[in-house]
Structure 1
Amino acid sequence: MLDTNKLNQLKLDFFTRFGGAEQKEFWSHEEGKAYFLSKATWAIPRYVQVHKAWTVMLVRQGILKRDQGATILAALSRIGLDTIPEMAETYDRRYPKTLMQLERYLRDKIGNIASNVMLGRTLPPPHYRMMMREAILPLLEAVLEFRGTLLEYSEKHRDVVMPGYTHYFHAQPMTFGHYLLGFHEAIAHASNQLETTYASVNRCDLGCGALAGTSFEIDRALPARLLGFDGFIEHANYCVAGTDQAIDLICAMTNLTLPMGRTCTEMYTWCTFEWNMMEISSKLSETSNMMPQKKNPGLLEDIRSSVGYVMGSYNECCARGHNIQWGDSREVQQLSESTVPIAKKVTQLVQLYNKVIPEIILHPEQMLRYAQEGFSTCSELAAVLVREVGMPFRVTHAIVAEVVRRLIDKGKTAADTTPELVDEAAVAIIGEPVGLTEEQIKGAMDPIVFVETHDSIGGVAPKEVLRMVNERRKDLEAARRRQKDRLGQLEKADQELEAAVRELIGG
């Protein structure tokens, strides 16, 4: 009969497969120890958490004897951040990975029985998914806060008339509130995409074996619940082969940061002397070491520049992930882990932009003057000709285009449009005047009137902007409730896991 006590105390070399010598020489002791310490602060508490959940399941399924499970769980419960220095002091370079060092440490404490925490499972799952979700949650929190700020200032600036631009030329009047609300729409879409990504990430891959599952009668749902996951991924090989969770997150962050970069570029331009439509308050501005007149909107530069980091990361993830085997490999794990520092960087960018929005000082008189002079109301003059004269749109389009050409040739602006000029243009195009009154022309060419009357769904009218803001606030509150539920689920799982551990060890 086997001597289980002897087996439990047997000293084993992890690299028995090839004698161990080559691997032992790969790291120096100090290099390996430094690598361990660089990973341990984050990794060890999560590894312990996973080991606890898996051990609870093994005991409940009868795979592991209760007393053995209790011994393992008691040892795991004594491991925390304050244990890491001791683990580093006893570092054994025969175990190069952090998870292996943890198992080695447990075996030193309670013998080879500690290795049963690895029954029916492989190394990576579900650690990188836990790492990713811990990065997504604060990012979502920052995005929800940013959405609230954008909605607040969309409402506040819904009456500030300015030119709207297409192709960098005046197009139609809008308000700065409408502009910010459009920005919010893009951020809200990315916010929803991040929530979907969280749901994709928050599926447990624990218990997949190496790719084929296991012959042990495990319960994959239990550790998934104890670790706060929404469920588990069924297909065993997909558990270790899938990279979509990383690409999902990178895509969501790309959709989040692209509009941030674009609006930064526009507002940066609008702060210049030549545009002078706005400025960033002195609180967040920078000056020059040499030029005393400078008031640089440096934070907009920082945000815009850092967006490029995310774009580059998107390309990097696709390049790294396209030619690896469909199965477990180091690249799969590294691809997911590489998204975490990017998510932390994006969180900082969102928080930074959230500070900028309240510090934007508008110059509404200048914004209105540009809208009055820049021909952005011409589409409404064409619409008036359709409504009042009954002309086909393309004919009115040609007449108004002729009006604009004549005004520009004379060095005049849209504010100089008169009934006589419109009639001259009409005669040139159709051979007869159209007879609009001065009141009709002023109403058509006034950007304030334009904004007030363009009240179709999604339009620039202040009342329509306010309606949309109120609707979006409802959406935001629902998103905040979902975020609270996600955080609550993790907290509840922690409590359930610790209760299960206490029940087994009798604490």
Structure 2
Amino acid sequence: MDDFLRAGRFDEKMTDDAAAFSTSIEFDQRIFEEDVKTNRAHTTMLMEEGIIPEDAGVKIINALNKLESEGLSALNIDPSFEDIHMAIEDYVTNLVGKEAGFMHTAKSRNDQVCTDIRLKLKSEIENTTKNIKQFITTIVEMAKENLDTLFIAYTHLQHAQPTTFAHHLMAYANELRRDCERFYDTYKRVDISPLGAAALTTTGFPINRQRTAELLGFSEVMDNSIDSVSSRDFVAEAAFDYAMLATTLGKIADEIVIWSSYEFRMVECSNAYSSTSSIMPQKKNPDIAELARGKSTVAYGELMTILSMLKAIPHSYNRDLQELTPHLWNTVDNTNDILKIVHGMVATLTINKERTKQLASANFATATELADIMVREKNLPFRSAHTIVGKIVSDSIEKGITTEDIDNEFVNKVSEEILGEPIELGEDLIRQALDPALNVKSRTVKGGCAPSAVRDAIDNMEKFLNE
């Protein structure tokens, strides 16, 4: 089947196992549409520049248009073909005859496959960023509904300070925004045409590389032909972007697992994203969140594989490069699946507002504000205030009392032990400091958890979404 490529140089065919070992035809099907477009753009340019006969070019383009309308199933996907390029050439040759050979004038499979991959990856990035922005939109709408929903923020997975559910959601939104912006930046380095580099030194034919770039929608043409056919850093960069997105999604999934447990009871997953036990009938397991968390690691392995392949390949084209793309597409598909599933889970979460309010009020989470009030109202150095409040918390735990039991007398007693004199904050200031709702409302600094600050953050995010 591959005689038309090998006949001039070799007097025998590859063995079946060598052909099967070297073919990329199975995963090349991913770039079928892009390969048709590349051939069409190149043939159009060759005609326009008078490099090939116009009537032959028209026949080739008509054959490519027919193939595009019929789809991949029209091809003879035979393992004896090394790649999708040869399968497409076989199709065109069957329709056009020997004149189909004009299609590959001044073009190699080396620059063609680079062009195809870049075209396909551009499309994949556009799709992924669109889906990220849809997820952010969902998060923003949820945040608007939860500006006053008290929530507990953690450090070291220990109660830290009161916040709101909206504030925590907007942390997700900002992480996802950066993921999106990374893709935008990578896109600029994908959106460069290598077509016309041929095997590695361009060609003696007077081709117009700007024209093929224009026809294919690339913003510019690569400057060096060796770099054009050998560069795959854009593959590694895109794989990193997907791995980083997977990290964001894995963190979100992990928190859903934690928050939905009986010990936390902060959220409940929709039944549509839950499973039960085969033996314990009472169970409602966050299996989908756990799987999302686990699957988020796939991209890391694929990224390391890609980097390892690129590490020691000399310039310019080497067949090893063929093995990169299955790992790239697996990274893309796996991460897109996680993105879709985590978006659905978050969108259907039920927030247990009574429980989150209870947790925001528990375990001395408002202690930092009590120290801050001592600084603001009594001009006390923060470290002194930190020491006093630390002792208040320690004594309260020892005596089995909560923040509701801490009054001016208690604070004064500890202050006398530390400073040698009472601090006299008064009951109103103490109650204000230890109230989680008032605590939250005082955090009006940009990026803070006060409803007013979160509204500003939402406005900024909506500007990004509308760009």
- Which bracket does the TM-score occupy, shorter chain normalised? over 0.9
Alignment of 1:214-293 (within 5 A): 214-293=203-282
Residues 128 and 333, structure 1, Cα contact 8 Å, conserved in 2? no
| Counterpart in the other structure of 2:87 | 101
Alignment of 1:40-439 (within 5 A): 42-80=30-68, 82=70, 87-88=75-76, 93=80, 95-123=81-109, 124-439=113-428
Query: What is the DSSP-based 3-state SS (H/G/I as helix, E as strand, rest coil) of the residue aligned with 1:126?
Result: helix
Alignment of 1:468-507 (within 5 A): 468-478=457-467
Q: CA deviation at 1:105?
A: 3.6
Higher relative contact order (CA 8 A, sep 6+): 1
How far apart, in 1, do the equivalents of 2:243 and 2:464 lie? 22
Over 3 Å counting, the alpha-carbon distance change for 1:311 and 1:413 in structure 2 is farther
How far apart, in 2, do the equivalents of 1:221 and 1:468 lie? 43
Q: CA deviation at 1:223?
A: 1.3
What letter corresponds to residue 96 of structure 1 in structure 2? E
How far apart, in 2, do the equivalents of 1:444 and 1:142 lie? 42
Q: CA deviation at 1:35?
A: 7.2
What letter corresponds to residue 103 of structure 1 in structure 2? E
How far apart, in 2, do the equivalents of 1:441 and 1:285 lie? 43
Q: CA deviation at 1:166?
A: 1.0
Over 3 Å counting, the alpha-carbon distance change for 1:13 and 1:252 in structure 2 is closer
Q: CA deviation at 1:24?
A: 5.3
Q: Does 1:14 align with 2:5?
A: yes
- State the Cα deviation string for residues 397-427 of structure 1 (Å, max 9, x = none): 1111111111111122233222122112112
How far apart, in 2, do the equivalents of 1:371 and 1:13 lie? 73
What letter corresponds to residue 333 of structure 2 in structure 1? K
Residues 210 and 220, structure 2, Cα contact 8 Å, conserved in 1? yes
How far apart, in 2, do the equivalents of 1:465 and 1:84 lie? 50
How far apart, in 1, do the equivalents of 2:266 and 2:361 lie? 14
Residues 287 and 295, structure 1, Cα contact 8 Å, conserved in 2? yes
Residues 68 and 113, structure 1, Cα contact 8 Å, conserved in 2? yes
Q: CA deviation at 1:12?
A: 6.6
How far apart, in 2, do the equivalents of 1:446 and 1:453 lie? 11
- State the Cα deviation string for residues 280-323 of structure 1 (Å, max 9, x = none): 13343222222121112222112111111122222222222212
Moved more, 134-143 or 72-81: 72-81
Residues 67 and 74, structure 2, Cα contact 8 Å, conserved in 1? no
| Counterpart in the other structure of 1:23 | 14
What letter corresponds to residue 177 of structure 1 in structure 2? A
Moved more, 45-54 or 71-80: 71-80
Residues 190 and 252, structure 1, Cα contact 8 Å, conserved in 2? yes
Q: CA deviation at 1:84?
A: 5.8
What letter corresponds to residue 40 of structure 2 in structure 1? K
Runs of 4+ in 1 over 6 A off after TM superposition: none
Alignment of 1:432-447 (within 5 A): 432-447=421-436
| Counterpart in the other structure of 1:496 | none
Residues 135 and 344, structure 1, Cα contact 8 Å, conserved in 2? no
What letter corresponds to residue 309 of structure 1 in structure 2? V
How far apart, in 2, do the equivalents of 1:86 and 1:169 lie? 60
Q: How many residues align?
A: 463
How far apart, in 2, do the equivalents of 1:23 and 1:179 lie? 60
What letter corresponds to residue 125 of structure 1 in structure 2? C
Query: What is the DSSP-based 3-state SS (H/G/I as helix, E as strand, rest coil) of the residue aligned with 2:154?
Result: strand
For structure 2, which runs of at least 5 residues remain unmatched after alignment?
Answer: none
Residues 45 and 81, structure 1, Cα contact 8 Å, conserved in 2? no
Over 3 Å counting, the alpha-carbon distance change for 1:362 and 1:79 in structure 2 is closer
How far apart, in 2, do the equivalents of 1:141 and 1:86 lie? 31
Residues 230 and 317, structure 2, Cα contact 8 Å, conserved in 1? yes
